[in-house]
Amino acid sequence: MNSSDLTIAIVGATGAVGRIALDLLAERNHPAEKIVAMASARSVGKKLPYRGVDLTVVEATPDAFAGVDVAFISASSEVSKRLAPEAVSRGTLVIDDGSAFRMEENVPLVVPEVNGADVEWHEGIISIPNCTTTPLVMALDALRSISPITAVTVSTYQSVTGTGAAAEVELLTQSRAVLDSEDVAIEQYPHQIAFNVLPQVDDFLTNGYTKEEDKMLNESRKILHEPALRLASTCVRVPVRVSHSESVSVEFQDAVSPEEARDALRDAEGVTLVDEPQNSVYPMPTEAEGADEVFVGRIREDIAHDTGLSLWLSCDNLRKGAALNALQILDEVLRRECLKPSPKTAVTQA
Ligand SMILES: NC(=O)c1ccc[n+]([C@@H]2O[C@H](COP(=O)([O-])OP(=O)(O)OC[C@H]3O[C@@H](n4cnc5c(N)ncnc54)[C@H](OP(=O)(O)O)[C@@H]3O)[C@@H](O)[C@H]2O)c1
């Protein structure tokens, strides 16, 4: 079956990810009459422009999934937990952007360039990873083809749209308030985000790491099928509108030269090498915004470790970090002809 033959629902169509999902479907010429824009009761009747027509938002209720072949859910964990089983029971394949099901044993967690074959054992729900995990595993997957990875240390620089549309508004509003020497209103984060950086993304766990940092570890292990992968991260929110960046140090079993790493990353699907530091050419969020690839550069020896390399990456969190990855999962499902669940033993799962 072709993607354009399907009736597709976007749950959360009014949100940051949902809007990009609509843009991507439009880029692919998906017919408007086969798109159902869903959101909360607050948005019912709202018009969303799509390929020259207006889609009218309907409330995401269980019965709204009747006749829907595929639903992309980009709302919240609570919404996914409530609606995904209802959609599945009506014969809909759910591709879920949130964290509700990512670590469930019967739910594939997929970045098609890395573990596309995992879509084959879905039972009605497929999850996409966190927007920091996706670009990281794409780079790690390319690098581990040279030598097994023994440890990874990451610091992230995460944009506010990773939190959602309301956080983008808050960054812009706070920035104006600071420039006008007015009081700053704080709602989305524990502190002001304008002209600041916050070494906290999500809540803290008892081990001193945040839930976001915990997700990077567990999701990377599951996608890469490396249950013992050693990975520590510090997730940081920065006053950037779109695109997450990451400073990554990788330790290998055997020494890997920067040139070998560049060759592997240059060949990796979905990765673009941007690595001319002498000319101040390297990945940046402003360049990654609106693009589909993971941009990698600043590749160099990690002089603190004998067999280590350091690199820097940037990736649009709303596209490859969310909506694009979800659409590519559907492409993978169609290519492998497994739209309907055919549960198998999850032999490939970590
Ligand atoms: N932002 C990212 O970079 C990113 C990356 C990967 C994954 N994700 C995941 O994607 C999901 C959406 O994130 P976002 O950034 O797009 O958030 P957002 O901008 O806050 O949008 C949330 C969407 O959810 C809808 N919604 C809220 N309550 C609902 C309900 N009861 N029923 C149906 N729809 C409801 C909202 O509709 P109304 O307008 O009607 O309130 C809105 O369309 C989250 O699970 C997030 O973890 C986000």
DSSP β-bridge partners for residue 126:
95
Q: Do 35 and 76 have their domain in common?
A: yes
What is the SS3 assignment for 109?
strand
In a domain? residue 340: no
Q: Would residue 131 show up in a list of annotated catalytic residues for this protein?
A: yes
Q: Tell me the CA distances in angstroms from 300 to 28, 195, 259, 307, one per residue in order.
A: 38, 30, 9, 11
The pTM of the whole model exceeds 0.85: yes
pLDDT, tens digit (0-9, with 9 covering 90-100), for 177-192: 999 999 999 999 999 9
Ligand 1, atom 17, lies closest to the CA of 164
213 and 72 share a domain? no
Q: Assess whether 156 and 242 both reside in one domain.
A: yes
199 forms bridges with which residues in the sheet?
none
Measure 222 CA to ligand 1 centroid, in angstroms. 24
Structural domain of 186: 133-317
207-242 residue pLDDT tens:
999 999 999 999 999 999 999 999 999 999 999 999
Residues 6 or more apart in contact with residue 267 via CB below 8 angstroms? 142
On whether both 276 and 288 belong to a single domain, the answer is yes
Q: Whose CA is nearest to atom 46 of ligand 1?
A: 98
Q: How far apart are CA 330 and CA 116, in angstroms?
A: 10
Residue 348 counted as domain residue = no
235 is catalytic: no
For the domain that residue 46 is a member of, what is the CATH number? Answer: 3.40.50.720
The residue annotated as part of the active site, out of 30, 122, 235, 244, is 244
pLDDT score at 177: 98
Question: What is the best residue among 74, 201, 211 to mutate for testing ligand 1's pocket, by most ligand atoms within 8 Å of CB?
Answer: 74
How many C-alpha atoms does 257 have within 13 Å on its Cβ side?
3
CA of 97 to the centre of ligand 1 (A): 9
Question: Do 21 and 81 belong to one domain?
Answer: yes
Angle at 168 between CA 165 and CA 170, to 5 degrees: 110
In a domain, 99, yes or no: yes
Does the C-beta of 127 come closer than 6 Å to ligand 1?
A: no
Q: Are 305 and 278 members of one domain?
A: yes
Mean pLDDT of 43-47: 98
149 in the same domain as 109:
no
Q: Is residue 309 part of a domain?
A: yes
Instruction: Tell me the average pLDDT across 77-94.
Output: 98
Tell me, yes or no, whether 68 and 208 share the same domain. Answer: no
Compute the distance between CA of residue 268 and CA of residue 113 in angstroms, rounded to an integer: 8
- Going by C-alpha positions, the residue among 141, 139, 145 that lies closest to residue 115 is 141
Q: What are phi and psi for residue 238, nearest 5 degrees?
A: -125, 160
Say whether both 67 and 198 belong to one domain. Answer: no
| Number of domains present in the structure of the chain | 2
pLDDT tier, 342 (very low <50, low <70, confident <90, very high otherwise): confident
For 4, what's the count of Cα atoms within 13 Å in the CB-facing half-sphere?
Answer: 7
The predicted pLDDT at position 134 comes to 98
Runs of H (alpha helix) within 77-132 = 77-89, 112-115
Residues 107 and 252 occupy one common structural domain: no
User: Is the pLDDT assigned to residue 348 strictly greater than 70?
Assistant: no
Contacts of 182 (CB under 8 A, 6+ apart): 176
303 and 156 share one domain:
yes
pLDDT band at residue 343 under the 50/70/90 scheme: low
346 is a domain residue: no
* 93 inside domain: yes
Q: What is the reported pLDDT for 317? A: 98
Give yes or no: residues 232 and 124 share one domain.
no
Residue 291 belongs to some domain of the structure: yes
Q: Does a structural domain hold residue 350?
A: no
249: domain CATH number is 3.30.360.10
- Asked whether residue 270 carries a pLDDT value surpassing 50, the answer given is yes
Q: What is the best residue among 40, 223, 294, 328 to mutate for testing ligand 1's pocket, by most ligand atoms within 8 Å of CB? A: 40
Compute the average pLDDT of residues 249-254: 98
